[in-house]
Structure 1
Amino acid sequence: MHQLNSLEKRAAMALALVFSSRMLGLFMLLPVFALYGSELDGFSPLWVGLAIGAYGLTQAILQIPLGWLSDRIGRHKVMLGGLTLFAVGSVVAALADSVYMVTFGRILQGAGAIAGAILALAADLTREEQRPKVMAIIGASIGLSFAVAMVLGPLLAKWAGLSGVFWFTAVLACGAMLVVALLLPKSVNKAPMAETLALPQSLGAMLKHRQLLQLDLGVLLLHLMLTAMFVALPALLQNYGLVSVKHWQFYLPVLLGSFVLMIPMMIIAMRKAQEKGFFLLAIALLISAMLLALLVPGFTALTLALLLFFIGFNFLEASLPALVSRIAPAGQRGSAMGIYSSSQFFGAFLGGVTGGTLVQHFGYQALFAALAVIGLIWLLVASTLQLPPRAQRLSLAVSLTSEQQASALAAQLTTLNGVQEVTMVLAEQRCYLKVSSAQFDHTAAQAVITAAGA
C-alpha cells in the first residue's frame, strides 16, 4: 500500500472486497456439492460437474460485452446489475430441489460477469504508476477467497446444508452491492480504454498472437484441471474415512503449505530471471500430482498429491496474468486480458463437463489419468513459450490530426533509448509505449511529442 494515496487505498480495498466476496460465493460450492448435492433430484456425477462449472460458461460469454457496457453506461451500474444477477442466481439455487435448477442458478450467477468492469474502475481510480499495486491487491484477494472457501464451505454446508451455502452467497452479493453503492469511490476520470478493456478491433489480432494464445490455453487448462478435480475430491475424501464436516481440516493445512512452498518459487523466479523454468516446473507439479493420485492409492498419497497440485496452481495463477500483461502489445492489454479472462472461465466450464463425464462413465482413476495427459500436453505447448524482456507501460496524451502525423511521431519515438514498442491511437489521442525503465527517459519522449506539435 506504500505510496498509494487515500483515494487509491479506498478503491483498492473496496474493489478487492467486492471481487473476493463474489469469488468466495462461487468457490464455496467446490468442496461440498459432490457430497451434499446427492439429495437433489437428478443427481449424478455428470450433473455435479455441470453445476460446478456452469457459471464459467456465462462468465466466458459475457465478460467482454459487460466490460464494453461499463464504458458506456458506467462501471457502478454494471457492477450493481451484475451483483443483482449473482444474488438472484444464488436464491434460485438455494430454493432448488433438483440438480437442474441448481445448475440454472449457477448460470445466472455467472451472468453477473463484472470482472472487466471492476478492473476498469480500478484503472480509472488510480495513477498509472500505482496501478499495478492496486491490481495486485485485487488479485491477492481472489487467492485468499479461494483458501477461505475451502474451509468455510464444508463448515457451512454441515451446519445449514447446501441451500445454506447458496443463501450465504446471496447475502455476500447483497453486501457487495452495499460496498459498491456506499463505499466505492465514483470515477472522476477514465484510464485509457485500450489498456483496460477489450476493444473489438483488437480481438482478432489477439487471437492470432501465438504467445498470448499459449497463455490463454494455459489458463483454460489450469481451471479445467481444478474444476474437474473437485468433481471427485470430496467423495474420495469421504471414501477414505474423512467425514464431510472435517474436510476443512484437510484443505486448510494443504493450502497453507502450498502457499508457503510457492513463495520461494516466486522469489527465485523473479530475482534470478528464471520465470520460464519455474513456469514449466509448476506445470510439472500438476502432472506429478495427477500421477500420484492415479498410481498410489491411499489418503496420504492423495494429501501429497493435492499439496503438489496447489503449489503449482498458486504459482501459475499468479504468473499467468502477469505474463499476459507483459507480452500484450502496447495499447492492447485490455483486449489481451479480456480474452484471457474468458478463457479462464471457459476452462472452469469444460472442467465441470469433463470431470463429470469421466467420473460417471469411467471412474476416478480415469479422471486423474486424463488430467495428467492434459497437463503433459500443456507442458509441451508451454516449452516453446518465449518471454520478452521486462518492460514498463506508459500512455501519453497527444494531439494528432492525421495517420501520417501519427506514423511520423511513432517513428521518432521508436528511436529513443529504452523504447521497445509504440502504438498510436488516433481515436483516443493517446500514445502507448512499452519501455525499459532503466534506459527510458520520460522527459525526452515528451520533448519529441512537443516538437512534433502533438
Structure 2
Amino acid sequence: MQDPYSERMSARETRAASGLALVFAFRMLGMFMVLPVLATYGMELQGATPALIGLAIGAYGLTQALLQIPFGMLSDRIGRLPVIYFGLLIFAAGAVLAASADSIWGVIAGRIMQGAGAISAAVMALLSDLTREQHRTKAMALIGMSIGVSFAVAMIVGPLLTRAFGLSGLFWATAGMALMGMLVVAVLPRAHHHLRHRESGVAKQALGATLRHSDLLRLDFSILALHAILMASFVALPLALVGEASLPREEHWWVYLTALVVGFFGMVPFIIYGEKKRQMKRVVLGAVAVLLFAELFFWWFGSGLWPLVGGMVIFFVAFNLLEASLPSLISKVAPAGGKGTAMGVYSTSQFLGAGVGGVLGGWFYQQGGLALVFAGCAVLCVLWLMAVWRMNEPPYVTGLRLPLSAEALLDPALAEQMLAVPGVSDAVVIAEEAAAYVKVDMQVLDRPALDRLVA
C-alpha cells in the first residue's frame, strides 16, 4: 500500500502525470506546427491574403479564450473525461476540416474549431484528482515542461512535415495526434473522486478579487502582449526569410532550431538570478526591453539572412525567459486559494493575445509590409513596459493546500493562528473543502508549528 506521505510519486501518479503531459504535448504540437509555415505555404490557398493568413494563425486563440473557463467549470459538473474526450474530438475534427480545405476560409474555420476544443482547465483538474498534494507541483511542472518542449519541436517539425507532405499533410498529422491523445486518456488511471481544488481550478468566489488585483492584471496583460507579439512576428518572419533573406521555405527549420536552442540556454542564467536574488521584477523588465530591441532590430536591420537569425536568437532568449517566468509570478502574486482562478484568467489572456496578435499581424502586413508589423510589435512592447514598470516586487512565497482535521475545522480563529506562524503571509480556510490554503516563505517557515495547527 502506498504511503500517503511518501516523498516519491507512486507509479499511478507518475503514469497519470506523464500521460496528461503527453496529451498536452500532442495538442500543443498541433496548434504550433502551423506557426512557422502558414504565412509561406498558406498564400497558395484560394482567396488567401496576408490579413486572412494572420486570422488563420491566430483564430484558435479566440475560441480557446472564450471557452477555456466554461469547459473547466463544465468538467466540475459532468466529469473530467467527457469534457477531455469531447474537446480532443472537436480538435481532431477542426484539423480534418483544415486538411480538406482548398481555400483560406476553410483553414480559418478549421483553426476556429481546433480552438473550441478547450480542454486545458479540465486536464489540470484531472491532474489534481489523480495526484496527492505533496506531488502536485511536480506533476504540474511536468505538464509545463511538455508545453515548452512541444513548442520547440513544433517550430522544427512543422517546416519538415510541410516540406514532405504539404499543408494538408500537416493538418492530417495534427488530427492523428489528437486521436492518439484520446488513446492516452483511455489508459490513464481512473480518479475515485473529483477534488475541489482552488489551486488548479477556477472558483467563482475568487473571480472578482482576481479581476481587481492590479499586479495580476499587469501579468495578464503581459502574457497577452507576449503571445500577440509572437503571433504577429510569425506572420512576418517566415515571409522575411523568403523575401529578404532568399532562404527557401523548406530550409527554415534550421533557423528556428538555432534560435530556440540558443534562446533556451540563454535564458537559464537570468531565471536563476531572478529567483536566487529575488529580483524577478527586474528580470521581467529586462526581458521586455530585450524583446523591444529585437523588434526594432527586425525593423531596421532585418534585410539579410544572418541579421534575421541573430534577431531571432535575441527574440527567443527574451520570449523563453518571459514564458517561463510569468506563470511563476502568477503563483507568487495570487492570494491564498486564488491560484487556480488567477491561472484561468491568465490562460484566457494568453489565448486572447494569440488571436489578436495573428489578426493584427496579418492586417499590419497587408497595410504596410514587414516594417509595419515589426513597428506595431515594438509599440506594444513600449506599452507593456509602461504597464509592468509600476508592478510591485512579487512576494517570494509558495502556495500550500493543507487538509484540515475535524477538530481544526471547529476552530473559528484558525486562519488568524496560521498567520501568526513565522513564514505564513496569507491564509484562508475553506470549510466545504475541509482544507486551508496558505502562502508561505519556505526560507523562514516554521512547518512543525503549521502542521500542529491543521492536525
Equivalent residue letter for 1:343? S
> SS where residue 426 of structure 2 aligns?
strand
1:310-356 deviation line (CA, Å, top 9, x unaligned): 10000110111111011111111110000000000000000011101
Match runs of 1:192-211 below 5 Å = 192-211=196-215
Single out whichever of 361-370 and 193-202 deviates more from structure 2. 193-202
In the alignment, what sits opposite 2:277? 272
Candidates 44, 47, 70, aligned match of 1:42: 47
Q: What stretches of structure 1 of length at least 5 have no aligned partner?
A: none
Contact 1:400 1:426 in 2 (8 A): no
SS of 2:134's equivalent?
A: coil
Q: 1:355 aligns with which of 353, 361, 365?
A: 361
Does residue 226 in structure 1 map to residue 216 in structure 2? no
Q: Of 227, 234, 239, which residue of structure 2 is paired with 1:235?
A: 239
- Aligned CA distance change for structure 1 residues 14 and 134 (closer, same or farther; 3 Å): same
Do the aligned partners of residues 413 and 51 (structure 1) sit closer, same or farther apart at CA in structure 2, a change above 3 Å counting?
same
In the alignment, is the contact (CA less than 8 A) between 2:418 and 2:424 conserved in 1?
yes
CA distance in structure 2 between the aligned counterparts of 1:392 and 1:361, rounded to whole angstroms: 47
Instruction: Determine if contact 1:32/1:153 at 8 Å carries over to the other structure.
Output: yes
Q: TM-score scaled to structure 2, two decimals?
A: 0.94
Pick one of 321, 329, 336 that aligns with 1:323: 329
Measured in 1, the distance between the counterparts of 2:383 and 2:437 equals: 35
Distance 1:380 1:147 in 2: 30
Which of these residues, 397, 404, 409, is aligned with residue 414 of structure 2? Answer: 409
Count, aligned residues: 447
Q: Which residue of 2 aligns with 1:163?
A: 168
Contact preservation (8 Å) 2:331, 2:398: no
Task: Give the whole-Å Cα distance in 2 for the aligned partners of 1:66 and 1:424.
Answer: 27
CA contact (8 A) 2:59 2:108 kept: yes
* Contact 2:278/2:396 (<8 A) preserved: no
SS class of match (1:113): coil
Q: Whole-Å Cα distance in 2 between the matches of residues 237 and 69 of structure 1?
A: 44
State the Cα distance separating 1:247 from its structure 2 match.
0.7
Deviations 1:166-203 (A, max 9, x none): 00000000101000012x22223444421211122221
Q: How does 1:37-436 map to 2 (within 5 A)?
A: 37-182=42-187, 184-239=188-243, 240-296=245-301, 297-398=303-404, 407-436=412-441
Aligned equivalents of 1:360, 1:230: Cα separation in 2: 14
User: Could you tell me which amino acid in structure 2 is paired with residue 147 of structure 1?
Assistant: A
Change beyond 3 A, Cα 1:257–1:449: closer
Distance (whole Å) between structure 2 residues aligned to residue 383 and residue 288 of structure 1:
17
Counterpart-to-counterpart distance in 2, 1:268 and 1:392: 18
Q: Letter of the aligned partner of 1:385 in structure 2?
A: M
Rounded Cα–Cα distance in structure 1 between residues aligned with 2:454 and 2:15: 34
Paired residue type of 1:373:
V
Name the CA distance, whole Å, in 2 between partners of 1:356 and 1:400.
Answer: 58
Q: Which moved more, 1:193-202 or 1:226-235?
A: 193-202
CA distance in 1, matches of 2:400, 2:229: 36
Q: Please, which runs of 5 or more residues in structure 2 have no aligned partner?
A: 1-6
* Contact preservation (8 Å) 1:192, 1:395: no
> What per-residue deviation string (whole Å, max 9, x for no partner) do you get for residues 354-391 of structure 1?
10110001111011011111111111211212133322
Secondary structure, aligned partner of 2:210:
helix
Residue pair 2:210, 2:341 contacting (<8 A) in 1 also: yes
Q: Please report the TM-score for the alignment, with normalisation by the length of structure 1.
A: 0.94
Task: Write out per-residue CA displacement over residues 251-298 of structure 1, whole angstroms, 9 at most, x where no aligned residue.
Answer: 111111111111122222222222222111111111010000111132
What per-residue deviation string (whole Å, max 9, x for no partner) do you get for residues 408-442 of structure 1? 22222222222211112233232211122233334
Q: CA deviation at 1:70?
A: 1.3
- Structure-2 change in CA distance of 1:406 and 1:194 (3 Å): farther
Deviation at 1:129, TM superposition (A): 2.1
- Partner of 1:90, secondary structure, is helix
- Structure 1 Cα separation of the partners of residues 195 and 289 of structure 2: 38
**Shift in Å at residue 113 of structure 1?**
0.5
Q: 1:38 Cα shift?
A: 1.5
Counterpart CA distance in 1 for 2:274 and 2:420 is 31
Worse-superposed segment, 146-155 or 191-200: 191-200
C-alpha separation between the residues in 2 aligned to 1:394 and 1:251?
39
Contact in 1 for aligned 2:224/2:353 (Cα 8 Å) = yes
